[in-house]
Amino acid sequence: MWQCTGGNYLFAMQLLLFLAPLRGVTDHIFRAAFERCFGRFDYMLTPFITTVKGRGIAPSHIKDVTGEENDRLRLIPQILGNDPDDFLLLARHLHALGYQSINWNLGCPHPQVTRKKRGCGLLPYPEFIARFLERVIPALPGPLSIKVRLGLDDGDELKRLMPVLNRFPLSNVIIHPRTGRQGYSGSVDLDRFETAADLCRHPVVYNGDIASIDDFRDRRGRFPQISRWMIGRGVARNPFLLESIRNGHNRHVDYIVLRDFHDELFARNGVLLHGPAHLLGRMKEFWAYFSGNFQKSHDVLMSIQRCITIEMYRRKVDEAFARRGAV
């Protein structure tokens, strides 16, 4: 039994909170800075790593997972691919690095991915998925989970796929209840999520559009049987949401901590990325999320987006935080 301190309800099951993978955002630098400033997720998925043809894995291809700061027990590398041999090559390499568990991406909606029958482009092909799992699962040294959408174009594809998934030992099935065609627009389809979750014999992780503690309470009220929850953009926008959900009450944004987080991302990405243009590009991606914490967020975002030098960027960041009285 797990009790929410300060909350007004008891959870019958222990909650497990997962950080969603956001490519270009939640890399090793983000994950380490996040934990230092805002606390720990129970599990974190890496942004996808694509399979590679051939015999070897170049160190640059897996640089997100090689650093010692990555906790091998709580970080789950995610693989995007559709060739069982290539998948096993990469998965075995990741196991050799100490990772216990692997996730298969069946959710990526980008046309250049789905066209090649990867990501959610595989969801209309249950037999293909069955053959892949028949080959991969017995040869994998550890557990496999999958991350799926409702379908590529048709929101009932996952329902039809579920009997196949139920035949295999999966550690969990993470469901983002949108179709690939939707991308990230429109709303999540909670009715279809419920249907798929009811059909699934594996532990199900809910993922999608939890941006506030009220969203979380709402979903949790509707799906009390679900104990595993994955959050991405909501914590990128407001990193205090993790603590709010754990404690059961809203934690207000502390701009000094947010600034500290920003500064770590800026400093470490400055070392990792070559040249000011790359650093500015990366920081602008973060501000697409952070700016939501500032008054006149659109103006703040625009002022950051217009920066063409590091000096200008530093000035605009100082101004944004100063207006909040944080520096």
Ligand X SMILES: Cc1cc2nc3c(=O)[nH]c(=O)nc-3n(C[C@H](O)[C@H](O)[C@H](O)COP(=O)(O)O)c2cc1C
Tokens of 293: 């914490």
User: Does residue number 207 form part of the binding site for ligand X (CB under 6 A)?
Assistant: yes
> 323, 40, 43, 321: which is closest to 174 by C-alpha?
43
Shortest distance, CB of residue 86 to ligand X, whole angstroms?
A: 18
> Residue 239: what residue type?
P
Q: Give the Cα separation of 189 and 182 in Å (integer).
A: 11
Tokens of 152: 């590529």
Q: Give the Cα separation of 114 and 152 in Å (integer).
A: 8
The H or E element spanning position 69 is: none
CB of 104 closer than 8 Å to CB of 87: yes
Residues in 83-142 that interact with ligand X by CB under 6 A: 105, 107
User: Does residue number 23 form part of the binding site for ligand X (CB under 6 A)?
Assistant: yes
Choose, by CB under 6 A, the member of 75, 162, 231, 265 that binds ligand X.
231
**Choices 19-27, 212-220, 221-229, 254-262 (CB under 6 A): range interacting with ligand X:** 19-27
Residues in 244-303 that interact with ligand X by CB under 6 A: none
Q: Give the Cα separation of 147 and 79 in Å (integer).
A: 10
Residue 274: which residues within 8 A CB-CB, separation 6 or more? none
> 24, 20, 78, 21: which is closest to 51 by C-alpha?
78
User: Does residue number 28 form part of the binding site for ligand X (CB under 6 A)?
Assistant: no
**Choices 56-64, 128-136, 208-216, 237-245 (CB under 6 A): range interacting with ligand X:** 208-216
User: Does residue number 234 form part of the binding site for ligand X (CB under 6 A)?
Assistant: yes
User: Does residue number 179 form part of the binding site for ligand X (CB under 6 A)?
Assistant: no
Shortest distance, CB of residue 72 to ligand X, whole angstroms?
A: 19
**Choices 15-23, 34-42, 213-221, 301-309 (CB under 6 A): range interacting with ligand X:** 15-23
> 5, 134, 28: which is closest to 77 by C-alpha?
28
**Choices 66-74, 229-237, 263-271, 310-318 (CB under 6 A): range interacting with ligand X:** 229-237
Shortest distance, CB of residue 107 to ligand X, whole angstroms?
A: 5
User: Does residue number 36 form part of the binding site for ligand X (CB under 6 A)?
Assistant: no
Nearer residue to ligand X within complex by CB, 84 or 109: 109
Residue with tokens 């059961």: 248
> Residue 61: what residue type?
H
User: Does residue number 180 form part of the binding site for ligand X (CB under 6 A)?
Assistant: no
Residues in 39-78 that interact with ligand X by CB under 6 A: 47-48, 78
Choose, by CB under 6 A, the member of 77, 124, 180, 208 that binds ligand X.
208
* 3-state SS, residue 24: coil
Dihedral, 284, 288, 292, 296 alpha carbons, nearest 10: 70
Shortest distance, CB of residue 24 to ligand X, whole angstroms?
A: 6
Strands 10-11 and 2-3: antiparallel
Shortest distance, CB of residue 285 to ligand X, whole angstroms?
A: 8
Q: Give the Cα separation of 137 and 127 in Å (integer).
A: 15
User: Does residue number 239 form part of the binding site for ligand X (CB under 6 A)?
Assistant: no
Applying CB under 6 A, the residues found at the interface with ligand X are 20-25, 47-48, 78, 105, 107, 147, 176, 184, 207-210, 231-234
